Chain A
Amino acid sequence: MTTEERTVAFLQHVQGGGTVEATDWMPDEYRQRLIRFIEAHANSEIMGALPEREWIPRAPSLKRKLGLTAKVQDEVGHGQLLYRIVEDLGKPREQMLEDLIAGRTKFHNVFHYPTGTWADVGVIAWLVDGAAVISQGALLRTSYAPYGRIMKRVCWEEAFHLKHGEDICLTLAAGTSMQRAMLQEALTRWWGPIMMFHGPPTPPETDQDLRWRIKPKPNDTLRQEFLDHYVPQIWELGLTLPDPQLRKDSATGRWGYTEPDWGELREVIRGRGPASQVRLAFRRLTYEEGAWVRTAILGRSAAA
């Protein structure tokens, strides 16, 4: 078989629901797309730990501090699992960490924004993680089996993040008028970035990650699932969302909304978001401060 014939057979296999293992032959384009997709996911896990980490010392109670610490640990753990998958595809971890701090690779738009109040912590854990679980739940059926298997653990742990975040939001919603206002203010600020979370409504026929079934569902389908699940829950609390066009069409079952500013999304993920450079600087600092640990570990392995 020629490479082209192999590639056609491979594409039919993945499009027909077949899965791929690290040891299987795969077209180079598929491998490169997997690396880019999963590496960005891994970057998002460890960059996503940073905005929440800022609130561990300021958590309002010991219980919240424990919950938040556990969540931050989970996110870093997910980063570990995902970087491992990419290492098996051929990209060394050191290279990934260096590409991230040099701004050569991307992480999710929502982690480029500042976390101004404790209510942000609740909104992130409930709704940003909520949006993430919609994507990650779909990824259980990715064509790349090692990625799908890891998603089982990730989704299981994320279930706690959502409930922990919802609990923070419900407590604030039932609190003083100041707490309620703080929650509303955080929700209003986060709604724009959350609506961009699943990406622009790329036509499925031109979305290459969809073609190789690296991701099983189109961006806009994920956003519709998110809105369907969370908007009624938000409105039920008497909170408002800053989009006058947001409503469900009872005939089609689809949510209408004001088109997000996709130009802002492109700028933000290129490292020009309000907190992009601060976060990357912190990641760089941590990487440099941890250099002695890596040296010690490698010294140990050289001696072994």
Chain B
Amino acid sequence: MGADRNPGPERRRVAEAAPMNEHALSVFEVFRQEKPTDAFTHEGSVVAPDVDLACQYALSVFSRRAEAYRLWVVPRAAIRQIDDPDLLRPPGDHRYRLARTYRGTIEKRRKLRARVLGEAP
């Protein structure tokens, strides 16, 4: 969110969100790929004592309808989040990196085509 942000969040681990103080359970984030050509999308998370059981939970919570081609089960502690707007959306105009900035080519091409036709014998 943009209303407030703790200083230096880019180096904060996502794990800090969850005070998993109970026993020795840890959080595993689950990502789902629907078709082989799709990107993986974050689906949710499960809590388990180890990755094997986390995989069992992920199967039963996120793929009861054959909606997953693959699942990724990742310890939350392994995820590093970058959410610093100064890094993600630095000041300055970056439109020169986008195709739509070069729409003027249509007009340039039109003019050039007319000129070439005009020069033709």
Contact = CB atoms under 8 A, between A and B. Distances in A.
Nearest to B32: A153
A21 interface: yes
Contacts of B1: 13, 18-21, 24
Interface stretch (A56-64, A85-93, A124-132, A247-255): A85-93
Contact of A301 (B6, B23, B43, B65): B23
A297 B49 contact: yes
Given A23-B81, A25-B4, A304 B22 contact: no
22 contacts: A1-B4, A6-B4, A13-B2, A18-B1, A19-B1, A24-B5, A73-B64, A74-B64, A77-B64, A80-B61, A84-B46, A84-B47, A90-B19, A92-B22, A93-B47, A94-B22, A150-B44, A153-B62, A297-B48, A298-B49, A301-B25, A304-B49
Interface string A87-109: 11010111000000000000000
Contacts of B77: none
A302 B24 contact: yes
Given A6-B4, A24-B4, A93 B43 contact: no
Q: Give the contact-size bracket for chain B.
A: 35 or more
Contact of B50 (A19, A93, A150, A300): A300
Contact of B17 (A23, A73, A77): A23
B64 A88 contact: no
Interface stretch (B8-16, B90-98, B99-107, B108-116): B8-16
Interface string B37-66: 000001111111110010001001110110
A301 B51 CA distance: 10
A157 B61 CA distance: 11
Nearest to A91: B19
A84 B2 CA distance: 24
B6 A297 contact: no
B18 interface: yes
A136 B48 CA distance: 27
A10 B47 contact: no
Contacts of B50: 300-301, 304
Interface of A: 1, 6, 9-10, 12-14, 18-25, 70, 73-74, 77, 80-81, 84, 87-88, 90, 92-94, 149-150, 153, 157, 297-298, 300-302, 304
Nearest to B20: A87
Contacts of A10: 3-4
B23 to A, nearest CB: 5
A301 B9 CA distance: 31
Contacts of B60: 77
Given A77-B64, A94-B22, 20 more contacts: A6-B3, A6-B4, A9-B3, A13-B1, A18-B1, A19-B1, A20-B1, A21-B1, A23-B17, A23-B81, A24-B1, A24-B4, A25-B6, A80-B61, A87-B18, A297-B49, A300-B50, A300-B53, A302-B23, A304-B49
Contacts of B4: 1, 6, 9-10, 13, 24-25
Nearest to A94: B22
Contacts of A73: 64
A87 B62 CA distance: 18
B17 A153 contact: no
Contacts of A25: 4-6
A300 B48 CA distance: 10
Given A153-B44, A302-B24, A70 B53 contact: no
B16 to A, nearest CB: 7
Contacts of A1: 4
A149 B48 CA distance: 21
A72 to B, nearest CB: 12
A298 B46 contact: no
Given A12-B3, A18-B3, A23-B17, A93 B22 contact: yes
